[in-house]
Amino acid sequence: MLSPDFSLGSTVALVAVQPSNTNDTDKGGQGEDFGKSSPVGLVLLIVFFIAVFFLVKSMNKHIKGLPASFDEPAEPAEPAKASDTAAEKKD
């Protein structure tokens, strides 16, 4: 439950005011190695690319096996009997 003297404006003001860092030796994690990747990252990236390649290859193989449409085929009309066609020709 919120206290009676709670207001959203004061909370936002408290969050917006951050204490400044006056220590010049601490650059917030942006030291000499900031932004550089390691060889482990390169190996991991190559492994991901290989995995995606095989995943796409497998998906393409499965998609080629699918039918063009999943709709039920319409029932074909019953073929005319040979005797019916002969009778129609006589008329």
More confident residue, 53 or 8: 53
Residue-level pLDDT at 34: 74
Count CA within 13 A, CB hemisphere, residue 44.
Answer: 5
* H helix runs in the chain, sequence order: 8-16, 39-64, 82-90
Query: pLDDT band at 90, cuts 50/70/90?
Result: low
Confidence of residue 73 (pLDDT cuts 50, 70, 90): confident
Tell me the C-alpha distance between 84 and 86, whole Å: 5
Tokens of residue 83, six digits: 């005797």
Contact 28, 21 (CB under 8 A): yes
- Asked whether the predicted pLDDT for residue 18 surpasses 70, the reply is no
23 or 52, greater pLDDT: 52
